Amino acid sequence: MRMLFKSVGKILKHYKRRETVVSVFSAMMSVTNRLISASEAAARGDMKQATTTKNFLFDLHCKTAKELNLNPIDHVDLVEFLELSMDDLMASCEKVANLGLCTGQHSDYISSLGERWSTAIMTKYLRKLDVPSAYVLASDILVTDSVAGGATPDLELTKQATTDRLVPLLQEGILPCVTGFIGADQSKTITTLGRGGSDLSASVLGAVLDADEVTMYKVESVAAEDGTLASWKPGWIGIIPKGSTPTETIPLMSYVEATQLKKVLHPSTCYPLMEKEIPLRITNTLDFLHAGTLIANKTPQYQWSQFASPLPVDVKWASKAALRAFSTARFGSIT
């Protein structure tokens, strides 16, 4: 797993020298599924299974942090953060077990923990790379309605909160590291944006901050039998028509076409960007200088039937399931 964190660090350090950047992170591979499984086990009264899952997740994140060879003080701080967060996970599972069911509110809270852990690790790793960074919990800035498991962001309220929290950091040259997937309603109750919601988190932040471009870095992965990462590989870059070869990356695509993609983007990703015509780029974490696919305001031009089945368009990112690594909103300047 350290390979991906190092690749992300390289990307952010590269762009931080030239542009103002906000970064958004998803959970590590299989973590959200495991958190959901823990909550389901707790609802059945199986706290032993929930504890086993907690121990696995704690070891996974501690191992990743150790492999990144963080600064000693940052490493100690991170382990303490993880310990407290694991206690929080178990306390939430105990509440679920006592109720005998996992409510939408409990599910959102428990499933949101993975993004907090991965973002905390990345923030510490960036400091090792001498990139000034700050951990930002999205529930403090991304305001949504109260729909559990698939909340809708409120762009106006999010713009106000984001301007207050992120713009001062950017003006000071600090790179905000924001937890993807997570929001909060106006009563400050944690919400989530649905699976793949980190894509939507990035596009919302890019829209409310008037970014020059939103870039989403994804990478082909192979899962082990237990759902954890078996290996990374550069794979295909950008969006590839089903059944095509890696040389057939689509260089340019309309928002309309992108909204029909399966498994590449959260279905609502493009909508916050369309009105302001902010371009969205999809590229590969392990080959980030490749142009990938640019999604922008243009007339649809592809005859999708030559590539895949009838609409909705069946375009795949790679031959295996893709892991959403992280996204950035990039700006020429912030004033």
What is the tens place of the pLDDT at every residue in 14-59? 988 888 999 999 999 889 999 999 999 999 999 999 999 999 999 9
Residues 289-316, mean pLDDT to the nearest whole number: 55
SS3 265: coil
The pLDDT score that the predictor gives to residue 271 is: 92
pLDDT tens readout for residues 174-186: 999 999 999 999 9
User: Among 294, 286, 214, 280, which residue's Cα sits nearest to residue 251?
Assistant: 294
Mean pLDDT across 248-260: 81
Q: What percentage of the chain exceeds 70 in pLDDT?
A: 79
Angle (nearest 5°) at CA 24 between 23 and 27: 140
> What element of type H or E holds 58?
helix 47-67
Contact 234, 284 (CB under 8 A): yes
Mean pLDDT of the chain: 84
> What is the mean predicted confidence (pLDDT) over 309-325?
31
Work out the pLDDT band at 248, boundaries 50, 70, 90: low
Q: Tokens 């599910």 — which residue?
A: 107
Domain 2-331 has CATH 3.40.1160.10: yes
Q: What is the pTM of this model?
A: 0.86
Q: Are 193 and 266 in contact (CB under 8 A)?
A: yes
- Regarding predicted confidence, which is higher, 240 or 256? 256
Q: Where are the domains of the chain?
A: 2-331
CB proximity list for 316: less than 8 A, separation 6 or greater: 240, 242, 262, 263, 264
Instruction: Give mean pLDDT, residues 206-212.
Output: 93
pLDDT at 226: 56
Residue 332: left if φ>0, alpha if ψ -120 to 50, beta else—which one?
Answer: alpha
- How does DSSP assign 65-83, residue by residue? HHHTT--HHHHHHHHHHHH
Q: In the predicted model, is pLDDT for residue 150 greater than 60?
A: yes
Amino acid at 4: L
Q: What single-letter DSSP state applies at residue 21?
A: E
**Per-residue pLDDT tens digits for 284-294:** 887 788 888 88
Lowest mean pLDDT among 102-116, 165-179, 180-194, 295-309: 295-309
